[in-house]
Amino acid sequence: MTDLWKMSATEIADAIRSKQLSAAEVTHAHLERIGSINLLINAVVQEFPNEALASAKAVDEAISQGKDPGVLCGVPVTIKVNVDQTGQATTNGLGLQRNLIAQSDSPVVSNIRAAGGVIVGRTNTPAFSLRWFTKNDLHGQTLNPRDLSITPGGSSGGAAAAVASGMCALGHGTDIAGSIRYPAFACGLHGLRPTLGRIAAYNASGKDRHIGAQLMAVSGPICRTISDIKIGLEAMSVGGVNDPWWVPASIYQGQFPRRAALTIAPDDMPVSREIELALRDAGQRLKDAGWVVEEVSCPPMRPAARINEELWMTEMRASVDLMIEQEAEADSIFVYEQMNNRIGPMGAEDLLHALQSRAGIIREWQRFMEKYPVLICPLSGELPFLQQEDVQSDASFDRIMEAQLTQRALPVIGLPAMAVATGTVGKIPVGVQLIAGRFREDILLSAGADIEKAGPKMKIADLT
């Protein structure tokens, strides 16, 4: 039983569906894994083993009656603490919200349940889901199981750490500026940021978010294999009438030319030698798989990254400015001040100008993606940062913001993107980012599978 936590989500679902394993024994194995290693890395911060086992037994009962529980048939899943799950606190890493108990599931949670997923815990995020590092005064700091000295990423750092260490087979994450993609990159995993509207979002426990978050924030899966990303996407994207942005679009949109663009340094962003080598290696893997790969310049990203900051800060000033002060969490205060310093006052005309400029940026990118169905580019300009490096000084914060240029830009552009793990530098994970046209996650899955197939298999982190 103890080795069941090493299985991929796809392997687990297939084995349970074919009655080679029971959902109950798989869930037991993952709960035992959480019990044995979670104290070391603090990825899972809310646990409910009885509820998880009851869900697993329901999956087994459905199978015994000849029913198919769904694409996630018995797969152990974790949920990030910034989305509603019935009976659990939607803390978002805040002491202020420790008693904000959800009375209903977010659509992504209900879709996971409906697909047969078994929720085994809820995972950590930085306070306000604000950073590419995962630490807060309520739940504590999450460590990276690959290397305790580096960040597990953020804001879905708990999700990535849980997946990388075998506490779950699939982690739910959210992304407004890289919060799915960067934790996947830092923990040696794959992570998909889908097109806006692909996966429904809604938290009944709070007010609707302002326009910036409505346009940029999405949920998506973090996994150890591309096939797991596929079934995670299929499960999460079924629908949700409470999200006015949700689009009932098919995941599989038809044939496409196997042509890719490779951009090593978008907008001349600094890119380390290790990242450049990973990008060229990924490009070569696609060539070897029959793709045509051209090294070109992609459309500008800096204007989109700037709009991301403007929209995000406008919302934060309107809705969480006082909460930052009340929470009094030192790291959040520092990061918030840094972001405030980067973005001057934003009036109504400034906001309108940002949204107007966004249309032209999207238009240019859509034309580019018509020619190149997929773009290979850096996810970060550097290997994963040391823990807490962003709050060490003004200069370190600015350097990190520059390294994360592409993560900040994509949510404004509205295209789907995927972090693809490609290997390690020593024991430090490295990977690349793939970008496709709107609602063409199927292209990302195809290219990602070809890159994955030609590289080393990413094993579960050894914490012994």
pLDDT value of residue 463:
85
Q: Which residues are catalytically annotated?
A: 80, 155, 179
Name the percent of the chain lying above pLDDT 70: 99
Q: Is residue 461 part of a domain?
A: no
Q: What is the mean pLDDT of the chain?
A: 97
Does this model's pTM top 0.75? My answer is yes
Unique residue bearing structure tokens 């520092």: 334
Q: Is residue 463 part of a domain?
A: no
Query: Which residues make Cβ contacts (< 8 Å) with residue 129, sequence separation at least 6?
Result: 82, 92, 93, 154, 155, 174, 176, 179
Q: Is residue 460 part of a domain?
A: no
**Nearest Cα to 176, choosing from 215, 228, 231?**
215
* Ranges in the chain, pLDDT < 70: 1-2, 464
Q: Is residue 359 part of a domain?
A: yes
Round to whole Å and give the CA distance between 369 and 327.
43
Phi, psi of 35 (to 5 degrees): -65, -30
Round to whole Å and give the CA distance between 383 and 274.
7
Q: What residue spans of 343-391 are helical by DSSP H?
A: 348-371
Q: Is residue 194 part of a domain?
A: yes
| SS3 letters across 235-271 | HHCCCCCCCCCCCCCCCCCCCCCCEEEECCCHHHCCC
Q: Is residue 101 part of a domain?
A: yes
Burial 110-143 (b: 16+ CB within 10 A, else e): bbbbebbbbbbbbbbbbbbbbbbbbbbebbebbb
pLDDT value of residue 275:
98
pLDDT value of residue 240:
87
CATH code for the domain in which residue 431 is found: 3.90.1300.10
Q: What is the CB neighbour count within 10 angstroms for residue 66? A: 6
**Amino acid identity, position 423:** G
- Distance between alpha carbon 340 and the CA centroid of its chain, in Å? 25
| Structural domain for 408, as ranges | 4-453
Q: How far is CA 155 from CA 26, 129, 159, 359, 395, in A?
A: 28, 5, 9, 27, 21
pLDDT value of residue 458:
86
Phi, psi of 355 (to 5 degrees): -70, -35
**Burial group, residue 356, by CB count within 10 angstroms (0-12, 13-18, 19+):** exposed
pLDDT value of residue 373:
98
Q: Is residue 458 part of a domain?
A: no
pLDDT value of residue 168:
98
Q: Is residue 347 part of a domain?
A: yes
Number of domains in the chain: 1
